[in-house]
Structure 1
Amino acid sequence: MKGWYTIKAASSVTVLISAFTEEIGGWGITAQQFSEDLKTLGDISHINLHIHSPGGDVFDGIAIYNLLNKHPAKVTVQIDGLAASMASVIAMAGDRIVMPENALMMIHKPWGISGGNANDMRDYAELLDKVESVLIPAYARKTGKSAESLAEMLEDETWMDGRECVAQGFADELLPAVSAMACIESKRIEDFEHMPKDIKGMITSPKGSTNNAVPEQNRINGIKDLFAMFGGKHDALKMQCLEDVDCTPEKAKDMLLASLGKIATPSNKTTDAHIYAGNGNITGDAIRQGLFARLGHERAERGNLMP
């Protein structure tokens, strides 16, 4: 499956996190998968982490930061072009951070989309504040800055080039400017309010119907939404569906229903259970309608939380 990162093993280990068409956490690959891939490398002494990303899912990003921060290997981070939003937090896991003079880092307040009544909105605002309280210590640990000064930088959506990052403690070593950087295709270009003009040419919006990533991401989101209703009880089947590019959400639903049918047991084992269905599809249709209703509710209630 296409992913937003690759891991290449050598005498030391090179971990490349990049986002040329999608953000961190996309394509159905989670921090759990990243963790499993990292573990398969065994006992390693050095990780070289290359970052060129506009950010992505906050919870996947926090988990990846913790994985790298707690890893016994020495971590060297190189920001090849852009480390924005959640990608900048992951960069803070480096024991040493290097970046070209014309590379950029951006930090900002967590944001997201929610729906509901006033109480729901207040709860969501509190969640965003809690997320910020988790991100700030990662920056503080590297820079030595106070929580108050970092909060101001997040409030302002602060963009820094390589020289500014070194001066403010977000990086340790300045590299010569690079002549060219890979272009990033991301919807997040619309979310950055204070993006410098010289970086706008690097990040382009997805190209609508000509972009094959759109239907693939819709397929993945549909499958993930379906299995989210069951609290991780069918993760093996979920991964099977995600990895099969021909598996649609409808096909995944049928596979899930079949799996649920295999594990279903009568609630009263001491007496015979008699269920009458004049139409043989009534029971199956009822289950399907229930799944669709819950799936629709999940989609309506789910907030897309980004740092």
Structure 2
Amino acid sequence: MYVLRLSMRSASEHSLCAEGRGERAYDIYSRLLRERIICMMGPIDDSLASLVIAQLLFLQSESNKKPIHMYINSPGGSVTSGLAIYDTMQYILNPICTWCVGQAASMGSLLLAAGTNGMRHSLPNSRIMIHQPSGGARGQATDIAIQAEEILKLKKQINEIYAKHTRQPLSLIESVMERDRYMSPTEAQAITLPPSPLPALLASLCIFWMLLRESETPVHLEMKTKAVLNPLRAPGEHQAADISQERIGLAPTMPELEGAHPVALERIKA
């Protein structure tokens, strides 16, 4: 028997522990990490960046071909901490599937856009916000000028990253980044941040299926689609791109549903 426990302990405390009566209890985030899921929740700072980077490097050492799923619910935070995570995402060889759960604002939206093309998702009721970097400075006029110049450099650098991953003109990115811009998944699709929003049922399966299943074996859904619209095409081009198989995430196939735990099956059907 496997027991899942919800815990907010730090990464150093995420460990597998043994209990009596033949039971094995897992810290919830350790259990998710075994399924190659990283939860990036809360403000982005050096502490969160250290944890996420360590998990990315660990999962690459386990396999540099299997995809990594990163769930993002963040209001943003430190630019340097966010860029440290971004650089690691680009450095490792694994495809990275990003999911917006709740909100991906500021630096959180950049990390959402940094996922592998075709593997960026937003859940139906999530929100995405983009804007230019901000900061403050005090001291002598020369020092303030130096800080202002640095912020302008960061602004240009971040705009170029968005343009790279959305394949939109830099001028358009600069325009939409000038002020806070809040978007639904459908609105964000217009500038190709994530692809189209997932249906509610598929979104629920992706999040809860692994937690409800008793088996240790990771479950993956091989979605066979004959044609899907490519969100990265230029506006007005609605050509279909044929994809034979696309790995979506931790969702079950119908034969697996038939053998699922009754409680899990009831939750999924609901």
TM-score by length of 2: 0.58
> Letter of the aligned partner of 2:81 in structure 1?
D
Task: Give the superposition deviation at 1:59.
Answer: 0.4
Provide closer, same or farther for how the CA distance between residues 98 and 36 of structure 1 changes in structure 2, counting only shifts above 3 A.
closer
Task: Give the superposition deviation at 1:56.
Answer: 1.0
Q: Does 1:107 align with 2:130?
A: yes
- Superposition pairs of residues 154-173 of structure 1, within 5 angstroms: 154-173=177-196
Matched residue count: 172
Task: Give the superposition deviation at 1:102.
Answer: 2.5
CA distance in 2, matches of 1:137, 1:85: 15
Provide closer, same or farther for how the CA distance between residues 88 and 49 of structure 1 changes in structure 2, counting only shifts above 3 A.
same
CA distance in 1, matches of 2:107, 2:183: 15
Q: Which runs of 5+ in 2 are unaligned?
A: 1-8, 12-28, 205-270
Which is bigger in relative contact order (C-alpha 8 A, separation at least 6)?
A: 1
Say which SS state the counterpart of residue 62 (structure 2) adopts.
coil
More strand by share: 2
Aligned residues of 2:53 and 2:88 also touching (Cα < 8 A): yes
Aligned residues of 2:189 and 2:195 also touching (Cα < 8 A): yes
Task: Give the superposition deviation at 1:66.
Answer: 1.1
Task: Give the superposition deviation at 1:39.
Answer: 2.3
CA distance in 1, matches of 2:162, 2:91: 16
Instruction: Return the match for 1:86 from 92, 107, 118.
Output: 107
Q: Which residue of 2 aligns with 1:261?
A: none
Q: Which residue of 2 aligns with 1:135?
A: 158
Provide closer, same or farther for how the CA distance between residues 33 and 15 of structure 1 changes in structure 2, counting only shifts above 3 A.
closer
Say which SS state the counterpart of residue 83 (structure 1) adopts.
strand
Q: Which residue of 1 aligns with 2:149?
A: 126
Identity %: 26
Instruction: Return the match for 1:10 from 31, 34, 49.
Output: 34
Aligned residues of 2:40 and 2:48 also touching (Cα < 8 A): no
Q: Which runs of 5+ in 1 are unaligned?
A: 181-307
CA distance in 2, matches of 1:30, 1:165: 25
Task: Give the superposition deviation at 1:2.
Answer: 4.0
Cα RMSD between the aligned structures? 2.4
More helix by share: 1
* Residues 44-85 of structure 1, C-alpha deviations (whole Å, 9 max, x = no match): 311001011101111010010111122211111110110000
Task: Give the superposition deviation at 1:132.
Answer: 1.1
Say which SS state the counterpart of residue 9 (structure 1) adopts.
helix
CA distance in 2, matches of 1:31, 1:108: 21
Runs of 4+ in 1 over 2 A off after TM superposition: 6-11, 30-41, 176-180
Aligned residues of 1:109 and 1:154 also touching (Cα < 8 A): yes
Say which SS state the counterpart of residue 52 (structure 1) adopts.
strand
> Letter of the aligned partner of 1:64 in structure 2?
I
> Greater Rg, structure 1 or structure 2?
1
